[in-house]
Structure 1
């Protein structure tokens, strides 16, 4: 028997059975459970079983239905799985406990899952998870209520309200066959609460309650913001007092702050051109919109009074963002300055928060911001919150850095500049936090930018420009690094 599959089942065919026993004897097969053999002689039996669970269940329990919580989860969880079958019992396999429940056959509200194994379709699965049951084990057959609500909210968020209503309609059609009238009543009330057509007081999960109150949020992003908060709250940071305390020095810093913040987003000017735009407050005729971007950014970041304003509530945060964005992009009418996006946006492989979830995600994310005390920690958190939500059609990076530096200015600390030479480090650190959930690189990146920025001071643009050149600040090539004392 060459080229074995990893799983081989015992057979009532005498010839096949004899051949299996011969292979066991010569060490080409080994038994890992009753009537189950494997050609894998190296891995632990539990790993082999879990890797091939659907093949094994299809063979051992033909016609069984992946049901209750397992129908929604679609796989073993905590090494356990529930099947509706012709009899009720528990079967212990290496690494997997199979809970068999006696119930209705595979013809009612199911879909084919794998070979002889079926799965409750969504309408039946949600009815099953409405069953009232006592938890006699550490792994109940129905999903915890908050998890079930979150699953249903995700259907609305990703597929629309009509899809959840369709599940309810299809579940209604199964009532007589499944004898689950009470379960349908519970399901219908839950769906109505999620769709705000009945009171939300029956809801348990935060994401479901937010949906019912008209402020749905992105739960994956909220998990990410919580992770960043945990990393920031557990650290002590060095804070740098702002050396640019005079009106003139603050304006000089603001010039380069505006210059680099736009350059990093692709609005590239020579320093001399940017000086002309800002000192004359006149756009270059051939680059009107780009010039206004420089002017709009500078108008915000050079205004110490404006930069000392921090959000005092979640609603205030939304208003502050819209007001500053309106100033920043006032010349780009097509980008709807001062309005949250009405289309989804992305950068490369990163898709930002859905436009319908912007306000709710910002408000929910604001909660962790209020718990942070350290100015640098708050600046780090605020910058990532705005960048990750990406609430506008354009200008998100610049607004995120404005909000970051407002945190620092309000406490008399040095603002942060991201020079051109540091652009790759900056973007890579944000991507790493977004995609790999690694906050430490992001924090280290901003810590270094903070220390560099604190070394920039003076009341003469040319002198500061000379210092920045020595630091390689204007270099775009990756062969240069940021240098400063």
Structure 2
């Protein structure tokens, strides 16, 4: 992006709405002249156009992106080419974008965008485009003719399920921060079954420990190897067994949601396994009363399904497995859809984004608990995602060196990394393996 900024250009047309290059690495920018430039891994298309407007948004450094009203107008221009070789989104995709904005932000917000488009259309010489946009919005709001719409989503628009608007805005801000970054790839070194299962043991062990379900390594290992709960701690033992049953199954950990409804189904199914012994916590069912942690009120029980479904839409637009993993973990954690087991399910869903891509899963060790919880809280309260992303990247790098066919050797490595200490006793060390 530094190279892009050097051209003193601004994201426009489809790139202003997508905020990322196309899969075939095309990026469209407003410039003082028309042309094309090929950079390593990126093709820049310069479109001669007006200077930035006051509501064209800063995107990265000095690089701006067309404001929403301007971007909608730009994408209604006639364009040559098709697919990624067109500067504009297809009519269907544009309708889906505007319909999504309407669902998330509401009618008042969309009408404000329309008013702004009407104001700037003469400045941009886009009066014809405004007429098209005005009709599109009129149709979407149900005051026009739905037959004018081409998108199935737009044509079938019905009042959606209620959502937690603050959380929706929070998820959008996390998406925006995740999508504009580049990430490393830490390959999964636990390719053999024994090594994968050893990692899964500690993955589940720490995931339970961080939630207060504490066993010694020997106790947890006895529970796993015998598949038998400790007599005095039946429910806690089943939590350990349930977590391990999921995370040690490479097939299960390769399943990712393919739709918003599929996300809800997958969450319920995994929760039913995880908390199978805690009948009072309604395993496999979303919460029937509200929950909180400290000063944080989680999503109201009546808004759980709608908020998860809306949140899924940003998840579906992310591409890098780490970005999807980080987003999914926070989505589930922040909604807190169940009476119990939310943190564990959130981390399961996170690692299910990495494992099928042959990338290392992530362990959150005891010594890193406060860093982990603090970064999540900062994102929740201050909408500050940088600390959260950096925290998970460090945990991911640490986890990428946790591999060994020998259980005791893996445990020794974790001890050397201070994994079993508290944050007051030490700090997380990253020790590469040669």
TM range (shorter): 0.5 to 0.7
Asked if the contact 1:300/1:324 (under 8 Å) is kept, the reply is: yes
- Choose the corresponding residue for 1:297, options 228, 239, 243: 243
Runs of 4+ in structure 1 off by over 4 angstroms are: 147-150
- Choose the corresponding residue for 2:252, options 297, 306, 311: 306
Residue 212 of structure 2 aligns to a residue whose secondary structure is coil
CA drift at 1:145: 5.1
Q: Aligned pair count?
A: 289
Match of 2:369 in 1: 423
Q: Rg: which structure is higher?
A: 1
Normalised by the size of structure 2, how large is the TM-score?
Answer: 0.64
CA drift at 1:479: 3.5
Asked if the contact 2:368/2:423 (under 8 Å) is kept, the reply is: no
- Choose the corresponding residue for 1:351, options 277, 284, 297: 297
| Residue 185 of structure 2 is aligned to residue 239 of structure 1 | yes
Normalised by the size of structure 1, how large is the TM-score?
Answer: 0.58
Asked if the contact 1:200/1:212 (under 8 Å) is kept, the reply is: no
Match of 2:317 in 1: 371
Aligned equivalents of 1:211, 1:342: Cα separation in 2: 28
Match of 2:358 in 1: 412
Aligned equivalents of 1:245, 1:224: Cα separation in 2: 36
CA drift at 1:450: 0.1
Q: 1:415 to 1:145 in 2, by over 3 A?
A: closer
CA drift at 1:462: 1.0
Deviation digits for residues 418-457 of structure 1, max 9, x if unmatched? 0000000000000000001100000000000000000100
CA drift at 1:410: 1.4
Match of 1:284 in 2: 230
Residue 267 of structure 1 aligns to a residue whose secondary structure is coil
Q: 1:463 to 1:370 in 2, by over 3 A?
A: same
Match of 2:142 in 1: 201
Q: Which structure's relative contact order is higher, taking Cα pairs within 8 Å and 6+ residues apart?
A: 2
CA drift at 1:476: 1.6
CA drift at 1:147: 5.0
**RMSD (Å), alpha carbons:** 2.2
Instruction: Give structure 2 stretches of 5+ with no counterpart.
Output: 1-105, 113-139, 145-155
CA drift at 1:239: 1.2
Aligned equivalents of 1:145, 1:237: Cα separation in 2: 36
Asked if the contact 1:343/1:355 (under 8 Å) is kept, the reply is: yes
The within-5 A match list for 1:13-162 is 146=108
Q: 1:211 to 1:285 in 2, by over 3 A?
A: farther
| Residue 198 of structure 2 is aligned to residue 252 of structure 1 | yes
Aligned equivalents of 2:109, 2:175: Cα separation in 1: 23
Residue 392 of structure 2 aligns to a residue whose secondary structure is helix
- Choose the corresponding residue for 2:215, options 269, 288, 291: 269
